[in-house]
Structure 1
Amino acid sequence: MSGGIFPEKKHVLENLFNVRKPIIGMVHLKPLPGAPHYKGESMDEIIEFALEDVRRMEEGGVDGLQIENAWDLPFPKPEDFSFETVAAMTAVGVEIRKASKLPLGVNCLANAVVPAIAIAKACDAKWVRSNQWVNAYVANEGIVEGASAKAMRYKSNLFGDDIKVMADVHVKHGSHSIVADRSLAEQTRDNEFFDADILIATGNRTGNETSLDELIGIKESASLPVIIGSGMTTDNAKKILSIADGAIVGSFLKENGNWWERVDTERVKQFMDQVNSLR
């Protein structure tokens, strides 16, 4: 597919990162105030943990960073996303922006795109990720509806044209049964029509390899850049980056390949060496 209704977005990914096939490293935040697994740690401790992961990923050579409240399990629905979580993620984001020149994005779980835009505006982040931008899904949190209409109006009210939207075409951790009568091509076009900037093909859960068939299906129907959102490793980087325009990577960059462990600088370097050889 060429052109599309927003042709000016064709190069938005390269404009964000100034590199082909950018790799965005995940900064999985420790439990934040208000979350079930938060045990009273100071914000200084939470921020320092995040900054150490940032230092390791930056040393390893990633092209961008994305903060996410990954430890706030179980995740609330968007309308229940709390004020204290917004405050804590903003505090972390501000410190990361001071410590690193890498472009920064925000993902608020689950699918709390309006709070993510607020955080992005406050800490000068360049994008937000939406796990459900259009249509509706049965997710772990229940029925989760597309965020686009409210999010785009909120972004406009904040004069947030510089904040881009990375939108999953299929949500992780959920059933696609509600949209089973809509083809992958139609869902790809739905996301484009509702003004996303970058599309994401992803696996069924965190760390799962993204289906090559799904990636190809989205790419063939898209006029926007398409990146993958999970499961990229040194073993599959060549086949994935022969199709995808970039990737969000978390689990593989961590010790033992587990998203909940510390970033492993040597794994990041090994991974980025592989990516650089494919650019």
Structure 2
Amino acid sequence: MQTISDNNSGAIREIFGRDKALIGMIHCPPFPGAPRYRGTSLDAVYDDCMRDAEALVGGGLHGLIIENHGDIPFSKPEDIGPETAAFMSVVTDRIARAVGVPLGINVLANAPIPAFAIAMAGGAKFIRVNQWANAYVANEGFMEGRAAEAMRYRSLLRAEHIKVFADSHVKHGAHAITADRTIEELTRDLAFFDADAVIATGQRTGNTATMEEIEQIGAATHLPLLVGSGVDKSNIAEILKRTNGVIVASSLKKDGVWWNPVDPDRVKAFVEQARPALEL
């Protein structure tokens, strides 16, 4: 494998204290300022996030990502208001104090700068960025990688300890702009722009990457690889054989629907299926 970056490959162990990690998603309800917000009290919004966090961690997951998934339709980064970072910082701080596992931040759509600010304010260990390098056409329109400005902002905050988990061949979009470059090359670009871990996804929320694509992406990078969509109890063992962990959401919700509360029984069954593969 060609050497692309001198970034070390130990982000998962550094953050989670283990070589393979199960990371759950906190899909925050709509925040004030988002189209689907209907005047719900902020305490109720925060309580919903806390309920899911406690169910996921209580069921055995090793970490969480906090995401403004209820803010559909998502704004482009330059249109995200300061209120989003403010509310997410409160959620992050409350969860961090309550559950004691490493946290990550994802601000949709593709907004690493507020994500770094939230992570710094709330004590999160990493951020997830859906388009870190290159460009594609997303649901929100043309979306550019924001690594250059984001890493300069991280330096400004003196937040170099906050890691970057970046998607390769990200879901919910078309990659015709970069169609002349292979998935392997697109993955190498993430390391070249100083990402710390790579995430393989499917085509949309709840849809998994194929085993072939997971192996393609994994063979192209020395960085830790996670699968970030479509993971459930039926495929977790096979995925963990090929990766350093997973980010799981919809399959742990009631009826497997992303906007429903976390189902503790689904979490327990998922962790039981994952446990034998965690030590591989």
TM-score by length of 2: 0.97
For 1:87, give the aligned amino acid.
A
2:8 is equivalent to residue 12 of structure 1: no
2:99 is equivalent to residue 94 of structure 1: no
Instruction: Indicate the SS of the match to 2:185.
Output: helix
Q: Using the alignment, how far apart are the partners of 2:247 and 2:39 within structure 1?
A: 30
Q: Using the alignment, how far apart are the partners of 1:259 and 1:71 within structure 2?
A: 10
- Judging changes above 3 Å, is the alpha-carbon distance between structure 1 residues 265 and 171 closer, same or farther for their aligned structure 2 residues? same
Match of residue 84 from structure 1:
83
Post-superposition CA distance 1:117-144 (Å, at most 9, x none): 0100100100000000000100010000
Post-superposition CA distance 1:76-106 (Å, at most 9, x none): 0011111111111111111111111010000
Alignment of 1:1-279 (within 5 A): 1=1, 4-7=4-7, 9-279=8-278
Report how far residue 5 of structure 1 moved. 2.2
Q: Using the alignment, how far apart are the partners of 2:17 and 2:272 within structure 1?
A: 18
Q: Is the 8 A contact 1:251 1:259 kept in 2?
A: yes
For 1:6, give the aligned amino acid.
D
Q: Is the 8 A contact 2:93 2:122 kept in 1?
A: yes
Report how far residue 239 of structure 1 moved. 1.6
Q: How many residues get paired?
A: 278
For 2:9, give the aligned amino acid.
K
Q: Is the 8 A contact 1:132 1:147 kept in 2?
A: yes
Q: Is the 8 A contact 1:2 1:223 kept in 2?
A: no
Report how far residue 4 of structure 1 moved. 4.6
Report how far residue 3 of structure 1 moved. 5.8
CA-atom RMSD in angstroms:
1.0
Structure 1, unmatched stretches of 5+, are none
Q: Is the 8 A contact 1:4 1:223 kept in 2?
A: no
TM-score by length of 1: 0.97
Q: Report sequence identity in percent.
A: 48
Instruction: Indicate the SS of the match to 1:71.
Output: helix
Q: Is the 8 A contact 2:5 2:194 kept in 1?
A: no
Report how far residue 189 of structure 1 moved. 0.8
Q: Using the alignment, how far apart are the partners of 1:89 and 1:104 within structure 2?
A: 12
Report how far residue 172 of structure 1 moved. 1.3
For 2:97, give the aligned amino acid.
K
Report how far residue 20 of structure 1 moved. 2.7
Q: Is the 8 A contact 2:77 2:109 kept in 1?
A: yes
